[in-house]
């Protein structure tokens, strides 16, 4: 793919590793382009059931590449650049497959947005999450406000954003922002965590992600109707037939995504 992004596919998982350790994996325009391309490639690969996103070196992602930020551009150019970068988090949210962020060190600014866009977050015990935008006089971007307020109460989100405080892995876990604190290698533990995705029904997982990501947008009646329609389609899949057969035969199902 590129020296900026390492891609490895193994045992149903696509490992995407941001590789700018000297810049703490700051999101350059080129890195964003490669990430979006790799995510879409993994989505199209029938052998891949989950994606693990991580950063090389001592940090997950330090955010935007400050050296290339807006002061050198006019408002229209700046807006265009931000929209291009924001396509990364939108791609993750809209992806049919689950994305797990494996966070070591800092997930700061847009790096925090990137982690929050993932479906699950596994971090090491020393990880720090920080909305650092206020330190350079900015508001959050890449969807951070929406993504964070979906995970924590409004007063907590406002505090974290406006204070720019470092959020420890323990506090993030207590608040429900992350799923697990790794005691060993964070990428290895993310792969262990993702095993339920690998073993699970791909089509059902796709619809669960779609529905839960949009649950707050729908009334109860509309959400229930959506469930009913999708469920009627799910009963026609080979995976559901395999699941029922496996249940009756008292064995583990072998889901194929068909």
What pLDDT, in 10s, does the model give residues 135-160? 889 999 999 999 999 999 999 999 99
* Per-residue pLDDT, 1: 56
Helices and strands (H and E) in the chain: how many = 11, 9
CATH number corresponding to 201-248 = 1.10.12
Tell me which residues of the chain have a pLDDT lower than 50: none
Report pLDDT for 2: 74
The alpha-carbon radius of gyration of the chain (Å, integer) is: 19
pLDDT at 128: 97
Residues 6+ apart with CB under 8 A from 182: 102, 122, 123, 124, 125, 188, 189, 190
What pLDDT is stored for residue 82 in this prediction? Answer: 86
Closest CA to 5 of 45, 42, 33: 33
pLDDT, position 68: 61
How far apart are the C-alpha atoms of 240 and 28, rounded to whole Å?
43
Which numeric CATH code is attached to 5-198? 3.90.226.10
Task: Tell me the domain boundaries of the chain.
Answer: 5-198, 201-248
For residue 75, CA distances in Å to 78, 81, 169 come to 5, 10, 36
Task: Record the pTM.
Answer: 0.93
């Amino acid at each position: 793919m590129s020296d900026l992004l390492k891609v490895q596919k193994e045992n149903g998982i696509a490992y995407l590793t941001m590789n700018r350790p000297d810049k703490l994996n700051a999101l350059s325009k080129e890195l964003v382009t490669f990430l979006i391309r790799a995510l879409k490639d993994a989505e199209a690969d029938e052998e891949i059931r989950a994606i693990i996103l991580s950063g090389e070196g001592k940090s997950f992602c330090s955010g935007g590449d400050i050296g290339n930020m807006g002061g050198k551009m006019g408002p229209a150019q700046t807006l265009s650049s931000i929209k291009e970068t924001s396509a990364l988090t939108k791609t993750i949210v809209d992806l049919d497959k689950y994305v797990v962020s494996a966070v070591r060190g800092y997930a700061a600014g847009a790096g925090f947005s990137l982690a929050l866009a993932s479906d699950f977050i596994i971090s090491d015990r020393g990880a720090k999450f920080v909305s650092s935008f206020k330190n350079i006089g900015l508001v959050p971007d890449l969807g951070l406000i929406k993504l964070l307020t979906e995970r924590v109460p409004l007063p907590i989100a406002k505090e974290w954003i406006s204070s720019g405080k470092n959020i420890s892995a323990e506090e993030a876990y207590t608040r429900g922002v992350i799923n697990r604190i790794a005691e060993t290698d964070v990428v290895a533990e993310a792969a262990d965590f993702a095993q339920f995705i690998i073993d699970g029904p791909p089509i059902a997982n796709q619809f669960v992600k779609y529905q839960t990501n949009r649950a707050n947008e729908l009334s109860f009646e509309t959400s229930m109707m959506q469930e009913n329609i999708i469920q009627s389609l799910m009963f026609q899949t080979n995976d559901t037939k395999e699941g029922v057969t496996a249940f009756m035969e008292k064995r583990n199902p072998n889901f194929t995504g068909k």
